Amino acid sequence: MKQTWQLWASGLLFFVSCMEPAVAEGPTDDWPFDRNPPREQSWPFNRDEATGSEGMRPVAEPGDPILEAPAEWEAAVDAPLEEVPTAPQVQTGPIRILPPGVGAAPEEPSDFDAPANDPVALFPAGPSAGGRGDLPTRAVGARPGEAGTGIEVGALGKVDEASVGLLDDRNGGLGTTMWSGTDRRVVEQLIVRVPGPTDSYVLGALSRRLLLTSARPPQGTNSGPSLLALRLQRLNEAGRSDDIARLYARAGVSQPTPAAAMEFALAMLATGERDAACNLLGGLPVGGDPGTDPVAAFALKLSIFCQISGGMTAAANLTVDLAREQGLDAPYFLSLAVAATDGLSLDASEPRLFDPLTYRMMGLAQRPLPGDAVGRLVPALLVPVAEDGALDPEVRIAAAERAASLGLLDGDQMAAAYLAVAYTREDVAGVRVGVEPASPYRRRALFHQAVLDERVPAGRADLLAMLFFREKGGEAYAATLAAHRGSLASVPPSNVLTSFAPLAVRAFVELGDRVRAGMWLSVLEGSAADTQQVRELQAVLRLIDPNTVAGAALPLLADTNADAVPATPIPPFLQPALSDLAAGGAAREFAALEIVLLDALGLPLPAPVWDALLVSGGLPGGEVAPVAVTQRLKLASNQKRVGETVLLTLAALSDSGVGQAHPQTLSETVKALRLVGLEQEARRLAAEALMARVGDGS
């Protein structure tokens, strides 16, 4: 039996050895993966100049010296290991152009890794632009007599990244099911209308929560770029690079799509994390057309930056030549690269906007920011510039004030920028007698230090009043409020400060401190202050919290239904609004908007109120949202689709902003937010809209 088995095995081995030449001719027709994947034909450095072939050497003929064993082979085999001469090291794979530690994340070798004899790679990058996502699927039939054992062999696609985020139900997220019932195509089409940089606190906060919430992705076909890439693009546009950096560190997005990798890299460059940005080169494709593909253009530019910052100037110069040959339209960036490597100064006009990659390349080229650069920085660069102690204090203040107006930095950061300017005690004392610097940035910095130097609350209130009156309505007003929040809180409400009280109420409303705003409003109500201004400030606080103003705590309906409006008398606090409707002018417009917003918040208004509004001439003007958006907003809010409701609210107000929106658009958005459970956000939106129409008391 044993001999029979041995004879059978020997015959089988002989049969296999006879079949080997046939098997080696090429892969079988039903195998979908090439055993030796062809090199990318678009790669410009694979051609062998001697043969004209793509990266291949001539085949060696029998008898060539390369196939003959050296004469000393036998002696070398028998010699001890330490006596064997060491052959010179020959580069057989891609040359690493980044310094140790950059891009060195350990990972399993891929089946698609380039063979060891590939040519020198001039810059690191990911897969080819075509990718391997279009590999065919091969069906393998069931084994005879075993139904149900058939399988399909193919390439797995990327896991949907759309669910990653920083916010959940515990820290301000909109809920893991916020996209339930929403079609994915609707989200893709509308998310581009999420406001980027905005001076509206409500819109900025809603945008951030929507884009950073960790939630199950909407259902439906993915018709464009990844949803994560779209979210990151809007966050970068709004200047939220620090949020993106935290998302990348915590969410574990190991293999982002090329579009998402580009947005991640931009955020890392903005926050100064160079190594993290260069590591993302592995997710960016090569072989695309930089003249038409923004991702391909970014990959080339990031490669040049990483090579220069890693000390690989020769490789960077070759990549610059490649970029020019492929039509990269970035003359200023390329001139910076040449200046950083060869020290040459080439004429190239500056871009309209400075993005993070260009800004960091300017640092490598030792090129200073131009005088008007702050107004040309993308929002993502404002905070880094404001915190850069090597820059001129005026530049830092200008960047900080713009960042504060967009809600990108807090009061402590704004105060630090003001304190970067050194003043003497004589300079500080000169503020009280009108001796001020000519520069508005230095003037505001001097006022800040003078307020901090004042120990008497009444004197501090006087300085703050001087500052707020001057800056109210200007671009630096939000920065002024942020920097002086602590000083404002240190001034106790007092009947001897009635002239300061209107400014204090406004300031605390805009800072979101309704408690202190109500305390200062009480000071106004007990004084002989301007009654119209007091009435309007009361109306704003009533929208934020009905209990803040005496006599305003009326029951609110969960849903406003015309048939359910009770036949109640007009509330006493609405009588001034009806008088303003009859008076006309700015007072009528304020009262009309107040009535509409109270209705949107669910307050039951009797019919005489609507009659008075109709007789007075209707609603004030403003920008109206598209009908399709408002109609879809009604449907989404009635069906409690939270994410879609917030997305449509942002789309309805993105063009006009809160202050310039039509009352009907404001009413629809406030009502929609309230219906999906975002009561606080609805009230804050209504208060911000009404505050924009409060008179200045003059």
- Token pair listed for 434: 């009108």
Is the model's pLDDT at 646 over the cut of 90?
yes
Q: What is the pLDDT of residues 219-252, one digit of tens each?
A: 887 767 788 999 999 999 999 999 999 998 876 6
- pLDDT tens digits for range 503-518: 999 999 999 898 999 9
Q: What is the dihedral of CA 343, 292, 281, 277, to 10 degrees?
A: 70
What pLDDT does residue 165 have? 85
pTM: 0.75
Report pLDDT for 554: 45
Nearest Cα residue to 352 out of 336, 373, 335, 333: 373
Q: What pLDDT does residue 180 have?
A: 92
Percent of the chain with pLDDT over 70: 72
Residue 96, pLDDT above cutoff 90: no
Q: Is the pLDDT of residue 403 over 90?
A: yes
The pLDDT of residue 373: 87
Q: What is the pLDDT of residue 573?
A: 85
The most confident of 5-9, 24-28, 408-412, by mean pLDDT = 408-412
Number of residues that make up the chain: 698
Rounded CA-CA distance 447/463 in Å is 8
Higher pLDDT, 117 or 468: 468
State pLDDT tens for residues 270-325: 999 999 999 999 888 877 888 889 999 999 999 999 999 999 999 999 999 999 99
Q: Are 396 and 385 in contact (CB under 8 A)?
A: yes
Q: Which residue has the higher pLDDT, 213 or 656?
A: 213
Q: How confident is the model at residue 162 (pLDDT cuts 50, 70, 90)?
A: low
User: Averaged over 341-366, what is the pLDDT?
Assistant: 90
| Ramachandran category for residue 407: left, alpha or beta (phi over 0 → left; psi -120 to 50 → alpha) | left
pLDDT interval class at 435 (50, 70, 90): confident
Alpha helices in 430-529 (DSSP H): 440-453, 457-471, 477-483, 485-489, 501-510, 514-525
Return contacts of 191-195, CB within 8 angstroms, 24+ apart. Answer: 191/227, 191/230, 191/231, 191/234, 191/647, 192/230, 192/234, 193/650, 193/651, 193/654, 194/234, 194/647, 194/650, 194/651, 194/654, 195/238, 195/650, 195/653, 195/654
Strand partners, 139: 152
Reported in sequence order, the residue ranges of 78-176 that DSSP labels E, i.e. its strands, are 138-140, 151-153
**Is residue 565 pLDDT above 60, yes or no?**
no
List all residues 6 or more positions away from 29 whose beta carbon is below 8 Å from its beta carbon: none
Of 85-94, 225-234, 447-456, 578-587, least confident by mean pLDDT is 85-94
Find the DSSP H helices in 63-195. 73-78, 184-190
Task: Give pLDDT tens digits for 527-559.
Answer: 766 688 888 999 999 998 876 554 444 444 444
Work out the pLDDT band at 480, boundaries 50, 70, 90: very high
pLDDT at residue 94 in the model: 47
**Are 357 and 305 a contacting pair, CB within 8 Å?**
yes
With a cut of 80, say whether residue 119 has pLDDT above it.
no
Angle 585-600/531-544 helices, nearest 10 degrees? 20
Model confidence at 254, in pLDDT bands (50, 70, 90)?
A: low
Tell whether the model's pLDDT for residue 601 goes beyond 70.
yes
List all residues 6 or more positions away from 573 whose beta carbon is below 8 Å from its beta carbon.
538, 542, 549, 551, 552
DSSP state, 30?
A: T
**What average pLDDT score do residues 335-355 get?**
89
Q: Which of the two residues, 69 and 584, has the higher pLDDT score? A: 584
Name the burial class of residue 630, with classes exposed (0-12), middle (13-18) and buried (19+) by CB atoms within 10 angstroms of its CB: buried
Under DSSP, the state recorded for 684 is H
Report residue 569's pLDDT band, with 50, 70 and 90 as the boundaries. confident
End-to-end alpha carbon distance in the chain: 115
When pLDDT is cut at 50, 70 and 90, the band that residue 598 belongs to is: very high
Please indicate whether residue 605 or residue 558 has the higher confidence score (pLDDT).
605
Q: Is the pLDDT of residue 674 over 50?
A: yes
Structure tokens at 598: 């109270």
State the residue for tokens 């300031």.
Answer: 507
The answer, yes or no, to whether residue 27 has pLDDT greater than 60, is no
Q: How far apart are CA 283 and CA 127, in angstroms?
A: 7
Alpha-carbon Rg for the chain, nearest whole angstrom, is 34
Higher-confidence position of 75 and 450: 450
Mean local confidence (pLDDT), 187-203: 90
State the average pLDDT over residues 388-398. 92
Contacts of 597 (CB under 8 A, 6+ apart): 543, 663, 666, 667, 670, 686, 689, 690
Mean pLDDT of the chain, nearest integer: 78
Contact partners, residue 476, CB within 8 Å, separation at least 6: 401, 405, 440, 444
Q: Specify which residues 153 forms β-bridges with.
A: 138
Q: Which residue has the higher pLDDT, 24 or 618?
A: 618
pLDDT of the residue at 39: 39
Higher pLDDT, 357 or 115: 357
Alpha-carbon distance of 142 to 151, in angstroms, equals 8
pLDDT of residue 145 exceeding 70, the answer is no
